[in-house]
Amino acid sequence: MVIGFKRIMILSVILFVTGVLGIVFNRKNVIATLMAIEIMLLAVNLNLIASSIFLDDFIGQIFALFIITVAAAESAIGLAILIRYARVHNTISIDNICLLKN
């Protein structure tokens, strides 16, 4: 049981680092940035569920369910904003989105 737990934790860390690197190295594409955030949230969910099973407690699974709900809402709202922005400005470049601060 411990060996499987360690492998799942290593997989979770690899997924989380992949998401962080996706955000750090991708400064142009908004959709890829949103996908990297989703990968990070899935890594956290994997970590919570594995810890919950290992500790024989269901609290981690409940938190994972809440995170899935928040991630779905974040994706829907983020893509809706992105579609609206793309219709108005005909681009989804992050460089142009930063101009909205003014």
Confidence class for position 97, pLDDT limits 50, 70, 90: low
Q: What is the pLDDT of residue 69?
A: 92
Does pLDDT of 22 surpass 90?
Answer: yes
Tokens of 91: 């681009």
Q: Once rounded to an integer, what is the mean pLDDT over residues 65-79?
A: 89
CB atoms within 10 A of CB 79: 13
Angle at 68 between CA 59 and CA 48, to 5 degrees: 35
Q: Once rounded to an integer, what is the mean pLDDT over residues 11-32?
A: 91
Q: What is the pLDDT of residue 63?
A: 92
Distance of alpha carbon 48 from alpha carbon 65, whole angstroms: 10
Q: What is the pLDDT of residues 28-66, one digit of tens each?
A: 788 888 889 999 999 999 999 999 999 988 999 999 999
SS3 98: helix
Q: What is the pLDDT of residue 28?
A: 79
Q: Where are the beta strands (DSSP E) in the chain?
A: none
Does pLDDT of 99 surpass 60?
Answer: no
5: CB partners within 8 A, 6+ apart: 50, 54
Q: What is the pTM of this model?
A: 0.80
Q: What is the pLDDT of residue 86?
A: 81
Distances, alpha carbon 102 to alpha carbons 27, 28, 87, 98, in Å: 20, 20, 20, 9
